Structure 1
Amino acid sequence: MKKPARNPREVAEIVAIQALSFLAGDPERLGRFLAETGIGPETLRSSAADPNFLAHVLDFILKDDDSVKAFAEASKLHPTNIMAAREVLGDRKWERDVP
């Protein structure tokens, strides 16, 4: 049995990976994402280990209301949870600012 996610960063990364899987399930969306990011399909899997890349995945989903609605429905998440995940992934600077 998998252990449950314990911290907001881990949960946010899981949401972003779900979003990437959602994109991969639609060739048209995936093509737009790959064109926008400039990465190739061969580097998609290795890029998924990078938190900055995961933040960009959520940025891509969040910039289009239809994509947000479709992903929220597919993942059974409320749209605000998707935005919250993006905020957590983008909050790296605070970790360095704390003494």
Structure 2
Amino acid sequence: MRQESAETIGLQALAWVTGNDELLPVFLGASGTSLTDLKTRAGDPDFLAAVLDFVTMDDAWVVAFCDSAGIAYEVPLAARQALPGGSLPNWT
């Protein structure tokens, strides 16, 4: 996946999290982010990576996000891997 596509998925995930009244406070607390930060950092690939890290922590969140966005369940993780810090280590 190209980084531009991954950023789009990250923005969709951010919109999904912010639109979820139960999940938004969990994200804000876990990330230490404020509502103002959400607006100013929405275009930051590192921040979008953190959003995808958060969403992919729970299978139910992945399913709910993907179902709402109409994307395959493996897309959030693929997008995360295309953003900064997301490459898988090669142990061989």
TM range (shorter): 0.7 to 0.9
Q: Of 27, 49, 73, which aligns to 1:79? A: 73
Partner residue in 2 for 1:53: 47
Q: For 1:21-41, what per-residue CA distance to the aligned partner results, in whole angstroms no more than 9, with x for missing partners?
A: 000111110110000111111
**Alpha-carbon deviation of 1:90?**
3.3
**Alpha-carbon deviation of 1:80?**
1.0
SS at match of 1:79: coil
How many residues are treated as equivalent by the alignment?
Answer: 87
Gaps of 5+ in 2: 88-92
Gaps of 5+ in 1: 1-6, 94-99
Q: What TM-score does the superposition give when structure 2 sets the normalisation length?
A: 0.87
1:27 lines up with 2:42 in the alignment: no
In our comparison, the structure showing a higher alpha carbon Rg is 1
Q: Of 73, 83, 89, which aligns to 2:83? A: 89
Runs of 4+ in 1 over 4 A off after TM superposition: none
Identity %: 37
